[in-house]
Structure 1
Amino acid sequence: MNNLPAGNGEEAQIARDIEAVQRIDAVPAILRLICRNTGMGFAAVARVTGQSWTACAVQDDVAFGLAAGGQLDLRTTLCFESRAARATIVIDNFSDDPVYRGHHTARIYNLGSYISVPIILPDGSYFGNLCAIDPKPAEVSNPRTLSMFEGFADLIALQLASEGRHQAVRTALFNERETASLREQFIAVLGHDLRNPLSAVSATAELLALRKHEPDLVKIGLRLKATTLRMARLIDDVMDFARGRLGSGIGVSIDEVDDLDTALRMVVAELREAHPDRLLADDIAIGARVRCDRTRVQQLLSNLVGNAVTHGAAAFPVRVLARIEGAELVLSVVNGGEEIAPEVLARVFEPYWRPATSKPGGGLGLGLYICKQIVSAHGGTLEVQSSAQDGTRFVARLPMAV
């Protein structure tokens, strides 16, 4: 009896298997019951592989000297033969047994009686054995005792399978939390550290755009300005996402806004300048005071239009509509193109998700998620519909009184 070395991979797996058996509350009671009902002095749940025999749980009333984690030379045990045959081995008296009389296992461990039942997991894999031994002969081959051992072996196998599933879920949950935490820290730091160099690039773009006597530099400046505007919006998206995940959602500052028409037209004008090759048609007629976060509603419209420009067909205009309908502010953005499949529509508001057909460089997959969060922070709703005839339409409804 010793602690035999195993390969690093197997050694780690056996350690996990021992822990799994020891997390099954019923195992100690099962081993005590086996010893009491059979009169045998030692019972164990053993992990048996092609290379090793390891005790996972033990009831030792005869000072056999093997504790949980202890190992035996596999080939000195009858579990080696039980595993090979995937069959129960039961011996009332080694001295009288026609097959196992004089067997080396009895001689090495001074055994009089023995029983070992395979523990087969629900997926058919071999875990090990439920076994009992004693220096004296014992009547263990009767149907009642065999049925008890087989029932307990099946119960342990089912519990191990259940424990394996639970452990897999716990591991996946832990890994997901770790990944989410690192990702959110990364985007928060990234967004903060990008602002300063981006401000310098934006200032350079403004200076180039003022060189009216050098048209080529003006074009470069305008192009660079549009690029920095897009980058700034991406940074805003990741920062909003980080704040929303680390806090309680995207924050809004609700106030009385008298010029929402003008604010939304400014958004459309900026996007026209950034996408001169696309037709943006706006019909913005609010004409009333609205309680909302002016900047966030601008961001909402900017993200919706940007999404329409990116994913809509260039042959169709992007149409923007803003109205007061009853007690709600209604913003809708429509683009033409192919119908979006229902399974894709169901996921468009998920963070980091982009359809498989998305073009490279189309963004981080946060824009529509943030739109949804802005609308929710206003107590409103955001819905999407798509058809080949009418195009894809996003409709945000924000209550006038928040």
Structure 2
Amino acid sequence: MRDQSSSAIVELSTLQEERARMILDNIEDYAVFMLDPTGHVKTWNKGAERINGYTLGEIQGRHFSIFYPPADIVAGKCERELRCATAEGRFEEEGWRIRKNGESYWASVIITAMRDPTGKLVGFAKITRDLTERRKAEEQLRQSEERFRLLVASIKDYAIFMLEPDGRVNSWNPGAQRLKGYQAQEIIGQPISRFYLEEEVARGKPWDLLREAAEQGRVEDEGWRVRKDGSLFWANVIITAVRDEEGRLRGFAKVTRDLTERRKSEEQLRRGEERFRLLVSSVKDYAIFMLDPQGRVMTWNDGAAHLKGYSAREIVGEHFSRFYPPEDLARNKPAQQIEAARRDGRVEDEGWRVRKDGTRFWASVTLTVMRDAKGELLGFSKVTRDLTEHKRTEEERLQLAQSQEAIRLRDEFLSIAAHELKTPLTALQLQIQGLRRDMASLEHKHEARIERALRSTGRLSHLVETLLDVSRISTGRLTLHPERMDLVATVRDVTERLHDSAASVDCQLVLQEARPIEGTWDRLRIEQVITNLLSNSFKYAAGHPIEISMEREGAEAILVITDKGPGLPEKFMPRLFGRFERAAPMSHYGGLGLGLYVSREIVEAHGGIISAENVPEGGARFTIRMPTDLLAPSAAPDEAAAPGPERPR
């Protein structure tokens, strides 16, 4: 019976050991293994394999020093740990260990001595845990705390310090010393009430603020505070409750900033605003008022009431579109002006406005956006002035000036036209008369004179066509016939046709290579513009090269003609594209002074712009920018069949 009991006890013990072994073998977060008395590995679980990288077959029988850095092995650390575990029963530490792949990791290690019932040492149990991530987190926290300590210590513009839960000063930074005047040894341990006015201390304000911070988490306050020397400063104060992980109040963080100068500035600003309000309210000749971001009237001065006829009670809260005539409302002009002011900061406009009684007046209006310090839109200021009488006077003056200018242009035109038309006609007459006298001469002689006669008639035809273009432009009857075309090819055609003209004045035409630029334009009119500009360069830049370049930029075609001539006189630049204007006296160069004027009108009819400038290294440059797509305009009935300029031959 005793043998059966002993057998059962052995079986139970074996079963328990087997279960314990199975449990240990399957633990993956801890390396749990056995060492013999000399430190050689006897057992190995899955956690040990995962942490150290060795399989049981690779590590069993090897000395546990394989897990230690070389410096620790040389220093005899492994042997000391076993001796300590043998003497004390266990050894515990944290330190660096080495995996199979040579990678270091931070380990928590416990070595426990194992003895038999007689007290004989039979080996050691070793438990290792990988704490690398925890150590990294702790190191990052330590570095963060050190950076924060250095940051707080370096701040000079803010007083940043800690308070005990009862309100006594616990720490002190240089900013606090500079702001309040106390050295750290003078103030640490002193109550927060040191910084408050006597009447506030009597009311218990310092402790009220601490109590509110403890209840709400933080409290913010502005008010007068007292320095060590008794002087006052206006302070912004933030007190924040500091609690541990269990929620226990450990004290308060207090941040104080000196806002004395800002308070002075705000007070000056308030007084300035009050003076400005009184000034605006007293102005009678200008309507000066405010709009909210949606355009509703917020304020109203006496000038606005006088000019527009509304009292403040009638108009405040109403939309400012009430002041615009129906045609502006149909175009949504008020909303467009609001958007322009929001985008550009301000917008100016002159136009008709409507009074309360329905009468109209011509107004000069300035709408300015108003934003706060953060850039948030507060609304708009609007200043309106009645310019009705000024407009009437200006229109009368303009009409008089236009009449005088028309008379001057008429007289000048008649003089110039008579001179310019007479010269080719006289030459033509002489050539034809000579041809009649010399009918019996050689054939090539007749041919040369006929050619000169044709050139004279061609010049006359060009002058007449230019005059017709001016007439069409003046009467609004210049008609375009757009078609798809390649600008580069068109420019190349024109330069080829003008090659002889360029050679006759010793001008080299340099056409820069460019990819095709497709667009919808009036081919003949574009050729006319190119011819005019090149002819202009032949006239004023004779003997110099002329460069032509083209490129496409987005939805625009750009044509640039640059010569190396004497350039354009600065005094003629503002009126260079006017009618009958020339860049040099008529006595030096012929022409009606209409080529650039007609060119500008053609380019603008295509929705483009033409400009002229002097090149820094010498010469003049004309630049044309035109949209590549142009919708064909409808021709006037009496102009639809009117011929345009003939293609140059």
Question: Which structure's relative contact order is higher, taking Cα pairs within 8 Å and 6+ residues apart?
Answer: 1
Length-normalised TM-score, structure 1 = 0.46
